C-alpha cells in the first residue's frame, strides 16, 4: 500500500480521500528540516502547502518518494529541477483558489478607496475624524488590469459589476477575448496613463519582475491606487514608498512582498498603505478545494499512474509515452523559440506535423508547444494547463496533419501570425531521438536548441562572423556551436550560437551596434 505524508496543515477531508482510495496517510506537521529528513524516506508521496521546503537535502533523504503535491499554485518551495533528476513528479492545483484571490483584490480596492483600516484605527482610538477620511467612489473609475488570465478575468467581471471601466494589459489577450470579457485591450503605457486603480494578476518572471518600476510608476495617473495580490517582486517597493510619500500614488495595498515573511518593509508605517500577510488564497472554501484536489491527484498517480497538473511530466498513457517523448522535447523547444522571438501581439498559433509525426497523437505535441511558448510569461505553466491557459486568453490554437512526407521523414512546425506577418519555425528528430531545429522564419538553419543561445539577424556580408567572434571573445564569452543560414547571397542571414553562459546586456548592446545587424536576442532553453 502506498504511503503519503501530509506535512502542512490541510483540511481533514484530504486525509480521508487518501484512505478511501487505498493510500496509507500520516498527518505530521510543523517538522523542522532535520526532523523531516529523518522520516521522509518511508513515504511514496508528499502533500504540502507553502510551509514545507522541499530542498535538495530533503529529496536526497526521500529515497522512496515518487510524487509531491502542492495544494495551491506556487511551487517556489520545491526544487523542481532536482526533483525531476530524482525521478519525482511535482504537481500543483493551479485553479482551486482563483475566486478567493480575486475577491481579496476587490476587498483591498474598497479598503483603499475608503481608507478603511486607518478609519477603523482612528475610531477605535476614540477619535471621530469624519472629515479626515474623504474617500472616493469606485463607480465610473477605470481599473487597470495587469494580467487577464484566470484570476484577472474574475476580477474584471467583478469590477464591471461595480460599474467600473476595465483596461487590460496581457500579451496573450486577443481582441476577441477582450470583447468577450467586456474590457479594453491596451499596452502597458496606455493602461498606466488611464487607470484610477491598478491591480496585478501576473506571475513573476524575468519579463514581469518590477513591471511597476520607478519609471513605470511615474507614468501612472496622479492619485492612482495600486493593489497586488499576485506575487512579490512585481512592484519596486522602494519606488512605491517614494510615490506614496510624494502623493503621486494615493494609496497601495499589498498582499505579497518581495521577501516573505515580510517582517519589515520600507512601506510599513506609510500613510495610505495597507498590507495583509499573503491572504489571497486564505478562505475556508479555497483551502478545502486545493486540499481535496491534491489528495485526488496524488492518489490517482500512486494507485493508477494517472498524471494531472504535473509541472515536470506530461499526461501520457504508458503505451504512448516512449514514442511521444522525443517529439514533445522537440515541440517544447520550438514553442519556446517562437515565444522568445515573436512579438507579443499574438492571437493564434498553429502546430503542424508531417511524415512520421502525423501518425502520432498530436495533443501531447500541442501541449508541449504551448508549454514552451507560454513559459516566458508563467513559471507554473505545464503541458496540462497550457492548453487551458491559451483558451482562457482567447488564443486560437490550430492543429494540422499533413499526410504526405516532405524533405524530412518527420517534421514539426510551429507558426504564428504577428503584426509583422506570419512567422514559423520547424524541427525534426535525428535518429528518432535527438531534437533538431531545421528552419527559422523561412531560413534553413540546423541547430540544437539547448542552454544559453544567441540569435542574430544580419545582412550577409564579408567579415561579419569575425566581428561577432571578436566581440564575444573580448567579453570572455565562449562559443559552443555556430550555426548559419541565409535567404540568398548578400541578403538576410541568421546566426544562431550556443554559448557557455548568459550574455550581459552591455554585450548584447555592443552586438546590436555592429554594422549590418538588424536584431540581437539572447535565448535560453
Q: How would you label 235-273 residue by residue, b for 16+ Cβ within 10 Å and e otherwise? A: bbbebbbbbbeeeebbbbbbbbbbeeebeebebeebebb
**Known active-site residue 260:** yes
Cell numbers placing 358: 502525423
Residues 6+ positions from 152 with CB-CB distance below 8 Å: 145, 146, 168, 170, 201, 202
The β-bridge partners of 166 are 143
Of 259, 258, 220, nearest in space to 242 by CA: 220
What Rg value do the Cα atoms of the chain yield, rounded? 25
Residues in the chain: 525
Phi-psi region of 341 (alpha: psi -120 to 50; beta: other; left: phi over 0): alpha
**Known active-site residue 231:** yes
Cell numbers placing 102: 480575486
Q: What is the DSSP string of 349-387?
A: EEEEEEEGGGGS-HHHHHHHHHHHHHTTT-TT--TTTHH
Are the CB atoms for 479 and 469 separated by under 8 Å? yes
Distance in angstroms (rounded) separating the CA atoms of residues 234 and 206: 10
The SS3 of residue 113 is helix
Catalytic pick among 49, 104, 225, 231: 231
Cell numbers placing 512: 546590436
Distance in angstroms (rounded) separating the CA atoms of residues 196 and 142: 5
Catalytic pick among 278, 375, 376, 393: 278
Distance in angstroms (rounded) separating the CA atoms of residues 197 and 162: 13
Helix H, strand E, coil C: the string for 453-486 is EEEEEEECCCCHHHHHHHHHHHCCCCEEEEEEEE
Catalytic pick among 129, 260, 359, 399: 260
Of 487, 371, 376, nearest in space to 439 by CA: 487
| Residue where the block lists cell 548568459 | 502
Distance in angstroms (rounded) separating the CA atoms of residues 168 and 65: 43
Distance in angstroms (rounded) separating the CA atoms of residues 440 and 341: 10
Of 94, 77, 68, nearest in space to 380 by CA: 94
Rounded alpha-carbon distances, angstroms, from residue 372 to 168, 237, 383, 525: 24, 31, 9, 9
Rounded alpha-carbon distances, angstroms, from residue 58 to 12, 29, 44, 63: 25, 15, 13, 10
**Residues taking part in catalysis:** 231, 260, 278
Amino acid at each position: 500500500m502506498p504511503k503519503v505524508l501530509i506535512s502542512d496543515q490541510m483540511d481533514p477531508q484530504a486525509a480521508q480521500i487518501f484512505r478511501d482510495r487505498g493510500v496509507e496517510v500520516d498527518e505530521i506537521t510543523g517538522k523542522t528540516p532535520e526532523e523531516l529528513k529523518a522520516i521522509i524516506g518511508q513515504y511514496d508521496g508528499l502533500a504540502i502547502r507553502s510551509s514545507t521546503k522541499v530542498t535538495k537535502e530533503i529529496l536526497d533523504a526521500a529515497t522512496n518518494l515518487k510524487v509531491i503535491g502542492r495544494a495551491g499554485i506556487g511551487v517556489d518551495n520545491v526544487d523542481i529541477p532536482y526533483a525531476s533528476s530524482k525521478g519525482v513528479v511535482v504537481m500543483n492545483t493551479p485553479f482551486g483558489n482563483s475566486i478567493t484571490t480575486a475577491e481579496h483584490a476587490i476587498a483591498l480596492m474598497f479598503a483603499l478607496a475608503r481608507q478603511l483600516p486607518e478609519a477603523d484605527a482612528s475610531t477605535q482610538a476614540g477619535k471621530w475624524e469624519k472629515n479626515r477620511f474623504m474617500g472616493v467612489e469606485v463607480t465610473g473609475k477605470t481599473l487597470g488590469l495587469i494580467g487577464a488570465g484566470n484570476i484577472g478575468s474574475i476580477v474584471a467581471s467583478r469590477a464591471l459589476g461595480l460599474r467600473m471601466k476595465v483596461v487590460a494589459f496581457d500579451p496573450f489577450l486577443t481582441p476577441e477575448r477582450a470583447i468577450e470579457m467586456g474590457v479594453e485591450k491596451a499596452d502597458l503605457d496606455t493602461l498606466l496613463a488611464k487607470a484610477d486603480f491598478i491591480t496585478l494578476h501576473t506571475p513573476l518572471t524575468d519579463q514581469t519582475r518590477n513591471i511597476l518600476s520607478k519609471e513605470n510608476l511615474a507614468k501612472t495617473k496622479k492619485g492612482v491606487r495600486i493593489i497586488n495580490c499576485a506575487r512579490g517582486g512585481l512592484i519596486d517597493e522602494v519606488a512605491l514608498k517614494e510615490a506614496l510619500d510624494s502623493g503621486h500614488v494615493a494609496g497601495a495595498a499589498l498582499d505579497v512582498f518581495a521577501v516573505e515573511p515580510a517582517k519589515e518593509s520600507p512601506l510599513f508605517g506609510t500613510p495610505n498603505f495597507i498590507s495583509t500577510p499573503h491572504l489571497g488564497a486564505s478562505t475556508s472554501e479555497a483551502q478545502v478545494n486545493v486540499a481535496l484536489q491534491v489528495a485526488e491527484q496524488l492518489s490517482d498517480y500512486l494507485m493508477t499512474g494517472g498524471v494531472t497538473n504535473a509541472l515536470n511530466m506530461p499526461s501520457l498513457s504508458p503505451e504512448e509515452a516512449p514514442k511521444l517523448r522525443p517529439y514533445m522535447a522537440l515541440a517544447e523547444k520550438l514553442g519556446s523559440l517562437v515565444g522568445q522571438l515573436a512579438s507579443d501581439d499574438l492571437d493564434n498559433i498553429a502546430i503542424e506535423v508531417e511524415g512520421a509525426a502525423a501518425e502520432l497523437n498530436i495533443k501531447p505535441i500541442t501541449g508541449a508547444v504551448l508549454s514552451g511558448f507560454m513559459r516566458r510569461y508563467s513559471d507554473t505553466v505545464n503541458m496540462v494547463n497550457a492548453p487551458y491557459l491559451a483558451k482562457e486568453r482567447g488564443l486560437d490554437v490550430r492543429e494540422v496533419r499533413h499526410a504526405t512526407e516532405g524533405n524530412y521523414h518527420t517534421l514539426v512546425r510551429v507558426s504564428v501570425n504577428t503584426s509583422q506577418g506570419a512567422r514559423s519555425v520547424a524541427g525534426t528528430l535525428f535518429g528518432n531521438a535527438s531534437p533538431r531545429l531545421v528552419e527559422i522564419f523561412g531560413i534553413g538553419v540546423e541547430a540544437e536548441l539547448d542552454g544559453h543561445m544567441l540569435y542574430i539577424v544580419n545582412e550577409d556580408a564579408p567579415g561579419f562572423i569575425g566581428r561577432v567572434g571578436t566581440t564575444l571573445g573580448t567579453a570572455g564569452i565562449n562559443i559552443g556551436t555556430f550555426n548559419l543560414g541565409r535567404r540568398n547571397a548578400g541578403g538576410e542571414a541568421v546566426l544562431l550560437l550556443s554559448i557557455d553562459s548568459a550574455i550581459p546586456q552591455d554585450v548584447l548592446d555592443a552586438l546590436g551596434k555592429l554594422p549590418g545587424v538588424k536584431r540581437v536576442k539572447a535565448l535560453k532553453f
